[in-house]
């Protein structure tokens, strides 16, 4: 067994036997890691705090060679992110971000940029309108996973630059006006929405969040990105359904 000491963000926890937890966390250099924390309830709240959802901490774990479920021994909290857990909106969005990262990445496949994206998003979540953060987060996550459609030219005829176009969910690409017949279900993308989407796919998270756009543009991008993610995953995530179910409550709050 080799010992690792690494910072990480907690993506998911699950009770295991009477006093243990299975924790999935995301690290900068090792990617997603799963492990068991033994005796977490016996030793009281302080030990448990290091393994709460969304916590950013430094963890010590023993890597098992024959299993991808390792043994986690210690957690030193860097940021508890309790502000995210204190509000329904924070829980709903942060849980969606975590489930997306969990679903899209493989165990121990390093993606340092995804770690940074998630860490930064947790900082922005309490201070930026969450729907805006969501569209930028998902676009940049898709980019890091290599899933983001090519946004510069038409898939069929190569026409470029495209001012506006049609987003083919099935092909994961843009089509121009003339080639739209290639996929009649392709969703229209206006020139302003396309420009914003291009900036989300290239610029730093903080720069994307600095500029606000009309709700029509935000809405158009969100529909495209969410439909595309659901299609690629082949399902609607639990946390996505939860987010949609509480939307009316959040709007009237």
Comparison of 189 and 205: residue with beta carbon closer to Zn ion: 189
Q: How far is the CB of 139 from Zn ion (least distance, A)?
A: 23
Comparison of 52 and 183: residue with beta carbon closer to Zn ion: 183
DSSP-based three-state secondary structure for 126: coil
Binding residues for Zn ion (CB under 5 A): 154, 156-157, 159, 176, 179
Q: DSSP letters of 2-68? A: EEEEEEEEEEEEEEETTTEEEEEEEETTTEEEEEEETTTTTT-HHHHHTTSTT-EEEEEEEEPSS-S
Comparison of 177 and 244: residue with beta carbon closer to Zn ion: 177
Q: How far is the CB of 190 from Zn ion (least distance, A)?
A: 17
Q: How far is the CB of 183 from Zn ion (least distance, A)?
A: 11
Q: DSSP letters of 69-103? A: EEEEEEEEEEE--HHHHHSHHHHHHHHHHHHHHHH
Q: How far apart are CA 216 and CA 28, in angstroms?
A: 35
Are 118 and 77 spatial neighbours (Cβ–Cβ below 8 Å)?
A: no
Any idea which residue has 């038409």 for tokens? 154
Comparison of 85 and 180: residue with beta carbon closer to Zn ion: 180
Q: How far is the CB of 162 from Zn ion (least distance, A)?
A: 8
Q: How far is the CB of 194 from Zn ion (least distance, A)?
A: 14
Q: What's the N-to-C CA distance of the chain in angstroms?
A: 50
CA Rg value for the chain: 20
Are 177 and 165 spatial neighbours (Cβ–Cβ below 8 Å)?
A: yes
Helix, strand and coil in the chain, % to nearest 5? 45, 25, 35
Comparison of 71 and 159: residue with beta carbon closer to Zn ion: 159
Q: How far is the CB of 72 from Zn ion (least distance, A)?
A: 52
Comparison of 159 and 187: residue with beta carbon closer to Zn ion: 159
């Amino acid at each position: 067994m080799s010992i690792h000491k690494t910072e990480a963000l907690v993506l998911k926890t699950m009770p295991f036997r009477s006093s243990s937890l299975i924790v999935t966390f995301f690290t900068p250099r090792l990617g997603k890691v799963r492990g068991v924390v033994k005796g977490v309830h016996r030793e009281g709240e302080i030990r448990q705090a290091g393994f709460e959802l969304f916590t950013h901490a430094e963890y010590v774990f023993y890597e098992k060679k024959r299993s991808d479920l390792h043994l986690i021994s210690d957690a030193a909290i860097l940021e508890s992110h309790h502000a995210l857990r204190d509000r329904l909106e924070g829980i709903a969005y942060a849980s969606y971000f975590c489930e997306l990262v969990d679903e899209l990445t493989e165990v121990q496949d390093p993606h340092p940029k995804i770690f940074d994206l998630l860490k930064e998003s947790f900082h922005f979540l309490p201070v930026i309108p969450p729907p805006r953060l969501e569209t930028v987060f998902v676009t940049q996550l898709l980019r890091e996973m290599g899933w983001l459609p090519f946004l510069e030219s038409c898939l069929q005829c190569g026409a470029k630059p495209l001012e506006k176009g049609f987003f083919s969910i099935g092909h994961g690409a843009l089509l121009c006006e003339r080639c739209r017949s290639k996929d009649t279900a392709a969703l229209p993308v206006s020139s302003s929405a396309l420009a914003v989407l291009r900036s989300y796919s290239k610029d730093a998270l903080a720069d994307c969040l600095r500029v606000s756009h009309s709700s029509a543009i935000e809405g158009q991008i969100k529909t495209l990105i969410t439909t595309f993610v659901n299609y690629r995953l082949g399902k609607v995530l639990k946390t996505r359904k939860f987010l949609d179910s509480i939307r009316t409550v959040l709007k009237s709050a």
